[in-house]
Amino acid sequence: MITHWRPLAYFALKRVLKGSRVHAYYRYLHSNQFLPADAQHAEQSELLAQLCADAARDVPAYRARFREAGLDPSRLRIDPAALARLRPVFREEIRDDQAAYLRAGTKPDDVELISTGGTGGSPLSVARDAYAKDWWLAENFLLNGWAGLGIGVPYFFLWGASEDIARTQAGLRRLNLALLHGRKTLNASRMSSLKEAQFLDELNRTPRCHYIYGYANELHNLAVRSLQGGPHLLRPLKAVITTAEPLTEAMRATIERAFQCTVYNRYGSREAGDIASECRHQRGLHVNPLFTQLEVVDDLAQPLGYGQEGQFLVTNLHNRVMPLIRYAIGDRGVLRAPERCSCGVSWPTIVALTGRVNDWVFLSDGSRLRCSALESVLVKLPALKRFQIHQVDETSLRIRLSSLDPNYLTHRSRELAEARHKLNMLSGAPFDVQFEVSDGALYKTEAGKQPLITYASNFKRAHAYRADMHTRLP
């Protein structure tokens, strides 16, 4: 729904100045969102076949992949499941030979490069042209609409990715974002208690902004600060959109209480756009099948059924200049089969995000322990804002705890001893586990995310290869 003068000006200017078709793409996504599951599926197969035909013809890496799989892309129209024969794409492969993944004849001036984080140890740049960018925006507008946020409604952007922040501060771009998108950026690349209070003051001083979009952890920190000591929010917001980091139910409840509005969790990535979002019924994150095809596979890239936990492969249906087809994005989770939600969409739904593919603690006997196992022990510690695991070597972990209580180690010594015991049981070997209380400043990656685990630098170099191997085909 267009509810503001900004979108009209925005669409008109983009059309006149850049020949942009974002309005047409938005209308396409908007008018097709309530299609029944089978019609949706047929439409997706058509988009997929078209993308793959173009990629197999114009992009060297995919030409080789389709040939190797003996797969004719036009077959995907009638048999989309045949895509599973195509070898997945790993970020290391794109990073090592970027040109092979670019459409032949692409001019550098026609694309922007988006760098993605180094959490898996493999930073990567993905190219996107104006066409893909318009689709990204159209998808973003559609999902915002679910939260009752019309296009151009002013909002706060709580972000810490240095590249994005730098981009928003460049002259015309800044004007575009501020005037047409209504975005006000809050730079969260470095946070402190003082800065949290300043941001809350800023929220109170800027009543024209109606919602916040940002990292789940930072929004939770702001909510805790607002509820415990203030400043309190002087008006309810229309919505909070959390992204980039896991959101627990406890975090959601705290954020909703502090900002007096619904939290919409969203899943996406810099290289693939907004993949999935909650609607107001909060029954998982609906995956838009006309924007992304999302598969769940096992560690050998074999497809898993709905309800089974595995790693995600993403196919973005609208990046023709640097297609991502069966791209191993590095996240794990569980999908629910398409079924009609009370909001009206019949899309597949992410019911659990279960962590990063490479989130491991490495043990001295050569085995490794998934971080989510440790996480299940640590989330039970009371009165914590957040924690982060740091592996020093194969026999010692340091666990950084972020708490408002500076004497947390003394006050909670009994619970900490219990947690230490459980962590040792999990590792199956004596592990030196040290707890530290931080003032809230946990380590962040270049992309502004707080990873669940970090490694001592020597240790990481020795083990990164093993972790990567696990995500590759034999």
Could you list the residues that contact Zn ion (CB under 5 A)? 279, 281, 341, 343
Rank residues 138 and 276 by Cβ distance to Zn ion and give the closer one.
276
> Residue 4: in which H helix or E strand, if any?
none
Q: Identity (one letter) of the amino acid at 377?
A: V
Rank residues 190 and 281 by Cβ distance to Zn ion and give the closer one.
281
Rank residues 218 and 278 by Cβ distance to Zn ion and give the closer one.
278
Minimal CA–CA distance to 100: which of 53, 51, 59, 55? 59
Rank residues 341 and 384 by Cβ distance to Zn ion and give the closer one.
341
Rank residues 85 and 283 by Cβ distance to Zn ion and give the closer one.
283
Measure the CA–CA gap between 170 and 86, rounded to whole angstroms. Answer: 40
The string of DSSP codes covering 103-144 is PTT--GGGEEEEEE--TTS--EEEEEEHHHHHHHHHHHHHHH
CB of 255 to Zn ion, least distance (A): 20
CB of 465 to Zn ion, least distance (A): 42
CA 215 centroid distance within chain:
10
Measure the CA–CA gap between 346 and 236, rounded to whole angstroms. Answer: 31
Residue 42: phi, psi to the nearest 5? -65, -40
Rank residues 344 and 428 by Cβ distance to Zn ion and give the closer one.
344
CB of 254 to Zn ion, least distance (A): 23
Minimal CA–CA distance to 333: which of 300, 360, 305, 308? 308
Residue 101: count other Cβ atoms within 10 Å of its Cβ.
Answer: 23
By the 8 A CB rule, do 6 and 181 touch? yes
Residue 447: phi, psi to the nearest 5? -80, 0
CB of 257 to Zn ion, least distance (A): 23
By the 8 A CB rule, do 293 and 48 touch? yes
Measure the CA–CA gap between 113 and 47, rounded to whole angstroms. Answer: 24
CB of 280 to Zn ion, least distance (A): 7
Rank residues 90 and 264 by Cβ distance to Zn ion and give the closer one.
264
Rank residues 232 and 281 by Cβ distance to Zn ion and give the closer one.
281
**Helix or strand or coil: residue 186?**
strand
Place of tokens 């969790």: 265
CB of 353 to Zn ion, least distance (A): 17
Measure the CA–CA gap between 124 and 113, rounded to whole angstroms. Answer: 9
CB of 415 to Zn ion, least distance (A): 38
Rank residues 281 and 380 by Cβ distance to Zn ion and give the closer one.
281
CB of 276 to Zn ion, least distance (A): 11
CB of 285 to Zn ion, least distance (A): 9
Would you say how long the chain is, in residues? 474
By the 8 A CB rule, do 94 and 116 touch? no
By the 8 A CB rule, do 126 and 320 touch? no
